[in-house]
Amino acid sequence: MINKELADELGVPKPNQVAINEIHDTRRDIFNSVEKMMKTGYKKEAHPTIFKELYDEWMELERDLQFLWGFDLDDNKIKFWNFPACSCPAMDNNDAYPYGYYAMSGGCMIHGSAVQDNVQDVTNGDVFDALGINTDLSNANTFKENKDD
């Protein structure tokens, strides 16, 4: 529901106010659907991208709201961690809000997979090999005494 007093004070046009109300209804529907899916144990394996798709739609609606209100479009001012399927640390992100440098959880169904898709497996040294960094630790526990003769 729109804050009518603020909308009038900011001079938000009536068509924008109607659109804002409609977007709030859609946001609420998405939010409630995701919460229900989470509570009923929806199997992500059945449709692995469903939460990310709904999240992307929700974020687009958040940007639409910024635009309709006449605010600068700024993803740093969207509290993405409030989305029901997001398990990124809310307390840390609330502390950083609205300046950015937000914390992402590797296990988050929304952000964790995006992080994992873009990061190579460093356990086999792929990233370090590409950078020419030696990751052979076979002699790591060997103490070598420096002898100056």
Give residue-wise pLDDT tens across range 50-100: 888 899 999 999 999 999 999 999 999 999 999 998 999 999 999 999 888
| pLDDT (mean) for 25-43 | 87
Whether 144 shows a pLDDT value over 60: the answer reads: no
Q: What's the start-to-end Cα distance of the chain, in Å?
A: 82
- In this structure, what are the phi and psi dihedrals at residue 39, rounded to the nearest 5 degrees? -70, -30
| pLDDT (mean) for 33-62 | 84
| pLDDT (mean) for 115-142 | 40
Top-confidence residue, 109 or 121? 109
Give dist(CA 94, CA 85) in Å, integer.
17
pTM of the model: 0.70
Q: How many CA atoms lie within 13 A of 103 on its CB side?
A: 12
Q: How high is the mean pLDDT of the chain?
A: 78
Split at pLDDT 50, 70, 90, the class of 141 is very low
Top-confidence residue, 132 or 95? 95
Q: Left if phi > 0, otherwise alpha if psi is -120 to 50, otherwise beta: which for 41?
A: left
Whether 147 shows a pLDDT value over 50: the answer reads: no
Top-confidence residue, 17 or 101? 17
pLDDT computed for residue 96 by the predictor: 92
